[in-house]
Amino acid sequence: MKAIQLFAALLIGGAFTAATAAAPAPADSAKAEKIYKATCMACHGAGVLGAPKFGDKAAWGPRVAKGKPALYTNALNGFKMMPPRGGNPALKDDEVKAVVDYMIAKSN
């Protein structure tokens, strides 16, 4: 019986850890915002060359509907007029993805 209780505790603890790890930490959000302002805002702030404007739910909706993997791929590799990594080749993959997540969250 104790083995079952231990297993259940591990499962519950693991699920809690996975759920809390999926939520971005405030520090990550602040970093994503800083990167957005330094790299992405030049185009996404004003909608330059068809870039969806920051916070524009109607513009982001169809893009979000395609799924985050598609948005990540476009942001990492470039899409239409957008250069790879928003023109900042120094950004790491996880930083680009964090900014995509940040922009999506602000458009809901």
pLDDT digits (tens, 9 = 90+) for 65-88: 999 999 999 999 999 999 999 999
Query: In terms of CATH architecture, what is 25-105?
Result: Orthogonal Bundle (1.10)
pTM: 0.75
Calculate what percentage of the chain has a pLDDT beyond 70.
75
Residue 15 has pLDDT above 50, yes or no: no
d(CA 107, CA 91) in angstroms, rounded, equals 22
Cβ neighbour number for residue 92 with a 10 Å cutoff: 9
Concatenating the DSSP letter of every residue in 11-69 gives: HHHHHHHHHHHHSPPHHHHHHHHHHIIIIIHHHHTTTGGGPPPTT-HHHHHHHHHT-HH
pLDDT digits (tens, 9 = 90+) for 37-67: 999 999 999 999 999 999 999 999 999 999 9
CA 64 to chain centre: 11
Residue 13 has pLDDT above 80, yes or no: no
Under a CB-based contact definition with an 8 Å cutoff, are residues 41 and 59 in contact?
no
